[in-house]
Structure 1
Amino acid sequence: MAVQADTAQALVDAIFLFGRSLRAAVANSVDDPVAPALVAVLVALSVRGPCRQNELAGALCLSQSALSRQLTELVDAGLVERRPDPDDRRALHVQVTEKGTEVLRETKKRRSAHLRGRLGDWSQDEAAAALTLIERLTVSLAPRAESTPDRESIPLTADHCGSSLR
């Protein structure tokens, strides 16, 4: 049986509120060396690997100008670098630097610790079940023709940018 309209709307609302709750639970502005929006760019770039700025903007559902400002901050902080595109020397690739990788690793470690603290009354089985459902939902919300990927290979694509969740 298909998902009913009221259930789908409740799910949209719950996902939106979940995103806000998650950001509040894991972000700690005192400890974070970079702003949460910049961390999102670092995460996406570390998953994608070196790419053109327009490709990254599409994957993040951001305008070129918004991403350009964020990348400038990351480049100035030494967390991202721009290099000539090996296939087109007129274009540039952006990629995470070693310093960026380390900042991202520490940020993820700190955020994970914050989340573990908030999930103190959850069992490992409950957390694993939630992870399975969130991964399934992520795959369902990012339409693609190929078969369902595992967690490590979920691509950041522009396909999901038209979603009403923004």
Structure 2
Amino acid sequence: MRKGLARVDEQPGGRENAAQDLERELSKLFGRARSLSMTFASRVHTGLDAASYALLLHLSDISPVRASDVVERTGLDKSTVSRQIARLEELDLIERVPDPSDGRARLVQLTVTGATRLAEVRSDRRARLRTQLGTWSTEDIQEFSRLLGKLNLDL
């Protein structure tokens, strides 16, 4: 530390001010993320809402999977997951298939249509993000990703 400069957490109110700044910026980020999610959801399917889009994204990373596992992995209420799965199935974005390890159970997975539409939107989303972060260094992007990961673990 350079002489004469106190660390933020050593300054009066420094940690509280930092927490308030973080809260304000997260609020802005979450609002923008919701708006973008609604835009991307409608591009996957005009009848898709932001919450079901988020579940579709999650399913694309973990499927095929039992609905009960989705509840466990997401921490969402069973009725919420059930309702969203039914909606995604109604929109032909996911399907239920037999579980090869238990013939009585069913797994949910993306349909070909769901996977194709989602891949297109994700590709566009990544391109947009690369453009928006065009002035950021690779190291800054990696550090931001690391810190977001740390925050996600702590929440």
TM-score (norm 1): 0.65
1:36 aligned onto 2:50: yes
1:57 aligned onto 2:68: no
Larger radius of gyration: 2
The alignment-based identity, stated in percent, is: 30
- 1:96 and 1:9 map into 2 onto residues whose CA distance is 40
| One-letter identity of the residue aligned with 1:15 | L
- 1:119 and 1:27 map into 2 onto residues whose CA distance is 21
Please identify which structure carries the higher helix content.
Answer: 2
Q: Secondary structure at the match of 1:95?
A: strand
TM-score (norm 2): 0.69
Q: CA contact under 8 A between 1:26 and 1:111: conserved in structure 2?
A: no
- 2:34 and 2:133 map into 1 onto residues whose CA distance is 14
Q: Secondary structure at the match of 1:51?
A: coil
Q: How many residues align?
A: 139
Aligned partner of 1:108 in structure 2 is 122
Alignment of 1:80-95 (within 5 A): 80-95=94-109
1:24 aligned onto 2:35: yes
- 1:32 and 1:54 map into 2 onto residues whose CA distance is 25
Structure 1 residues without counterparts, runs of 5 or longer: 142-162
1:48–1:12 CA distance, 2 compared to 1 (3 A): farther
Deviates more, 1:71-80 or 1:7-16: 7-16
1:70 aligned onto 2:81: no
